[in-house]
Amino acid sequence: MVIWLFVAFLLCETAAAQQYAFQVTFSDKNNTPYSLSSPLVYLSARALARRATQGIAVDSTDLPVNPAYVDSVLTLTGGVFHETSRWLNMCMILLADSSAILHLAGKPFISNIKLVGYYATDLHHRSSNITGTTNPVTTQRTTTSFGSAYYSDTWTQTQMVNGNYLHDNGYQGQGKLIAVLDAGFLSADTHPGFDSMWSSGRMVDTFDFTFRSTNVFTQDGHGEQVLSTMAGYVPGTFVGSAPLAMYALYITEYDPNDQPLELDNMISAAERADSLGADIITESLGYDLFDYPPGSGQDFYTDLDGKTTVAAKAANIATKKGMLFIATAGNDGGGYTSPEGIFWGNHIMTPGDADSALTIGSWDTDINGPASTSGYGPNADSVIKPDVTTLGQEASVFSSTGYTIGSGTSFSTPQIAGWAACLWQANPNATPYQIRQAIIQCASSYTNPGPQIGYGIPDFECTNYALNVKDTPPPFTPAKWVIAAPNPFNNEIKIFVSPNTSQNVNFCLMDMTGKKIASLETYLYTGYNTPITISVPGLPDGVYILQAVSSTQQEVIKLVKN
C-alpha cells in the first residue's frame, strides 16, 4: 500500500472547520453484493439500451464499489463520505484530522491512498448517495427551413458549422441526453430562455458533487451560459445547438481554488451520467496547476498524455461505455505563472488531453483565426489537440436574465456537444468513435491541422453525409450520370459513366479545402465504357470531392476515404 502524504499533515491538525480530502483505492471488488447478471440495480434501462445498440457488454468496472469496504474506511478513520468511483474502484473521504488516514495502513483491501484536497472550512458532512434515472422524451421529427431571423443572436455560430442543415432536417436533439459538468448553474431554473426545456420535462437530473446536494442552481452562473449555447430556445432571438435535447446538470468544480478532488468529482459525475443513460458528456472545465497540495503542479504537464489523469480516464472510460465525451481545450493560449512561481505554457488542459475526448478550441471571427487565449496542443504524448474549433470569442450566451456574449473555449465546447447530439439523432446506430471521426474528417483543415485549431472548423452537413455513405451506389439517373465506387474507398476509386454519354469529360479529385489530389480528362462514347480507375495510395483518411465536368453537364460526388 502506498500512502501519499506530506509529513506536515500528520501533526494532528484537528481544527474543527478544516477538512482534508483523500482518495482511497481498493484492491478488488470481492464479495460485492452486486452482480453482472442484475445490471438494472446500478444501470438504468436507458443505459443498457445504449450499450446494447453499440454491442457493449456490462463488465466488472460497472459493478459499484463494495459498500463494506467504504464502511470500513469511514469507521476506521471517522471520516465523512464524499463520493465513489466504480470505474476506478475507489472512494473519496473528508477528514478533519489528516493523521486519521494512518488507521488504514496495512489493510489488505486497500491498494493506494492519495491526498487530493484541503478545505480551510468544512466542505460538507453529507453522506447520502443519490442516483437519478429517467425515460427518454421523444418529439416528432419535422422538416423546416430555418434562417438568420430564426436564430438571430446565434446565427453566426450556427452558420459557421453548417448546423442549421441538421435543424432544417428536423434534428434538434430530440431523444438525446446531454450531461453538462460545470461550476454552477445559477439562474438556469429561472431564465425564460429555458422555459421550453422545463415545461417539456427535459431537465432530467441534477447533482452537486462538490457539496453533495441536488441544488445546482447556485454558486456560479458559468454553467448557465454553457447550457444556453445548447438548450436556449427562443425562436427569433436565440436558438441553441440542441434546443430539444434532454439535459442533466452536474457541479464538479470548487470555485475558490483548484484541487485534485475536482477530477474525482468529474469521474463520479461521468459515472452518474452513464448510469442515467446519457449519450454525451460535455465539460467546460479544465485543469493545469493545482493550488493544493503545494508543488503539485510542478510536473503536471507530463501527465497530460491522454490517459494518466483521473479526468482523462473519465473521458476514455466513458467512451468505452458508449458515450461521446466533449472537452474544452482551455484558455491557456497565453500561458501564465502560478502563485508558486511555476510557469504553465500555452498548453491544453485536462481532460482535453484525453485520447478519446473530442476536444474543442476557440475561434475568433474578428481575426478569422484561433482566439489568442485558446489552448495549444498537442498533448504530452504528441497527439493532435484540440480536435476541432468553433466560435468561442464573443459567442452568444445567456446573461442572468437576458442575452449577452461570452468568450473562451467554455462556450465553443458545448456548441459542438449540441450539434453532435443532433448528428447522433440523425444517425442513431453510430458509435461515439464514428461520430467523433466524422466531425474531425469533415473539418476545414483536416489535411493541414494546426496547434490551436486542430483539424479546423466542422461542417455538420458533411458529417451527416460521411455517416451515411453506402458501399453500393444507386443506379444511373439523368442527374446521376457518374457513379464512384466503392464509397468509402481505400486505395483506388472506380468511376462509372452513364452509357448515354458521348463527350469529353474532365474528372478532378479534391480534398475539402479545394486542393487538387488527382485529375484526368477522357473522351467517353455512347454505350458501355470501361470503368476509369483513380489510384490514390497513401491518401489520408477523410472526406473528398470528385467533380465531373463535360460540355453539357456536371456532377459533384462526396467520397470518404478510410
Lowest average pLDDT, out of 133-142, 312-321, 355-364, goes to 133-142
CB 488 within 8 A of CB 531: no
Same structural domain, 422 and 317: yes
SS3 202: coil
CATH number, residue 65? 3.30.70.80
Q: Is residue 547 part of a domain?
A: yes
Same structural domain, 496 and 404: no
pLDDT tens digits, residue range 161-218?
Answer: 999 999 999 999 999 999 999 999 999 999 999 999 999 999 999 999 999 999 999 8
* 446-470 average pLDDT score: 86
Cα-based distances in Å from 416 to 124, 157, 391 = 34, 10, 10
CATH number, residue 512? 2.60.40.2550
Confidence of residue 490 (pLDDT cuts 50, 70, 90): confident
Same structural domain, 10 and 92: yes
Question: 96 lies in which domain range?
Answer: 2-119
* Per-residue pLDDT at 15 exceeds 90: no
Q: Which residue has the cell 498548453?
A: 347
Question: What pLDDT score does 156 carry?
Answer: 97
pLDDT tens digits, residue range 246-300?
Answer: 999 999 999 998 999 999 999 999 999 999 999 999 999 999 888 887 666 556 8
Q: Is residue 398 part of a domain?
A: yes
Question: Cα 240 to the chain's mean position, in Å?
Answer: 17
Give the closest residue to 268 by CA, choosing from 188, 212, 222: 212
- Please state, as a whole number, how many other Cβ atoms lie within 10 Å of the Cβ of residue 214: 12
Q: How buried is 156 (Cβ within 10 angstroms: 0-12 exposed, 13-18 middle, 19+ buried)?
A: middle
User: Which of 71, 102, 119 is the endpoint of a domain?
Assistant: 119
Same structural domain, 437 and 512: no
Same structural domain, 462 and 488: no
Which residue has better confidence, 548 or 146?
A: 548
The H or E element that residue 327 is part of is strand 324-328
Same structural domain, 278 and 424: yes
Same structural domain, 294 and 433: yes
Confidence of residue 413 (pLDDT cuts 50, 70, 90): very high
Q: Which residue has the cell 432571438?
A: 237
Q: Is residue 143 part of a domain?
A: no
Q: Which residue has the cell 436507458?
A: 46
Same structural domain, 303 and 180: yes
Q: Which residue has the cell 470531392?
A: 545
Lowest average pLDDT, out of 170-174, 335-339, 502-506, goes to 335-339
Confidence of residue 483 (pLDDT cuts 50, 70, 90): confident
DSSP string, 352-420: TT-TT-EEEEEEETTTTEE-TTSPB---TT----S-EEEE-TTEEEE-SSSEEEE-SHHHHHHHHHHHH
Pairing of strands 177-182, 203-208: unpaired
Question: What pLDDT score does 150 carry?
Answer: 96
CB proximity list for 331: less than 8 A, separation 6 or greater: 286, 362, 373, 374, 375, 408, 409, 410
DSSP code, position 216: -
- Cell (9 digits) for 169: 432536417
* Per-residue pLDDT at 501 exceeds 90: no
Q: Is residue 49 part of a domain?
A: yes
- Please state, as a whole number, how many other Cβ atoms lie within 10 Å of the Cβ of residue 554: 13
Question: What pLDDT score does 299 carry?
Answer: 63
pLDDT tens digits, residue range 223-248?
Answer: 999 999 999 999 999 999 999 999 99
Question: What pLDDT score does 24 carry?
Answer: 98
- Cell (9 digits) for 215: 441544488
Question: Cα 213 to the chain's mean position, in Å?
Answer: 24
Question: What pLDDT score does 503 carry?
Answer: 80
Radius of gyration of the chain (CA): 26
Cα-based distances in Å from 386 to 54, 343, 356, 402, 450 = 26, 21, 12, 31, 9
Confidence of residue 5 (pLDDT cuts 50, 70, 90): very low
Which residue has better confidence, 341 or 68?
A: 68
Which residue has better confidence, 305 or 17?
A: 305
Percentage of residues in the chain with pLDDT exceeding 70? 89
CB 419 within 8 A of CB 426: no
- Cell (9 digits) for 485: 465506387
Q: Which residue has the cell 462509372?
A: 496
| pTM (two decimals) | 0.83
CB 223 within 8 A of CB 181: no
Same structural domain, 432 and 487: no
Cα-based distances in Å from 437 to 143, 257, 488, 539 = 26, 35, 14, 16
* Per-residue pLDDT at 527 exceeds 70: no
Sign of the C-alpha dihedral computed for residues 474, 479, 485 and 488 taken in this order? negative
CB proximity list for 242: less than 8 A, separation 6 or greater: 172, 173, 176, 178, 230, 231, 417, 418, 419, 421, 422
How far is 477 from 488, CA to CA, in rounded Å? 21
CB proximity list for 517: less than 8 A, separation 6 or greater: 509, 510, 511, 536, 539, 544
Same structural domain, 538 and 460: no
Q: Is residue 420 part of a domain?
A: yes
How far is 4 from 397, CA to CA, in rounded Å? 42
* 399-411 average pLDDT score: 96
Same structural domain, 374 and 426: yes
Lowest average pLDDT, out of 57-61, 264-268, 299-303, goes to 299-303
Same structural domain, 190 and 290: yes
Confidence of residue 469 (pLDDT cuts 50, 70, 90): low
How far is 547 from 558, CA to CA, in rounded Å? 9
Single-letter residue type at 553: Q
Count of residues in the chain: 562
Structural domain count of the chain: 3
- Please state, as a whole number, how many other Cβ atoms lie within 10 Å of the Cβ of residue 12: 9
Question: What pLDDT score does 340 carry?
Answer: 67
Question: What pLDDT score does 552 carry?
Answer: 85
The H or E element that residue 70 is part of is helix 67-77
pLDDT tens digits, residue range 90-126?
Answer: 999 999 999 999 999 999 999 999 999 999 998 998 7
How far is 394 from 412, CA to CA, in rounded Å? 10
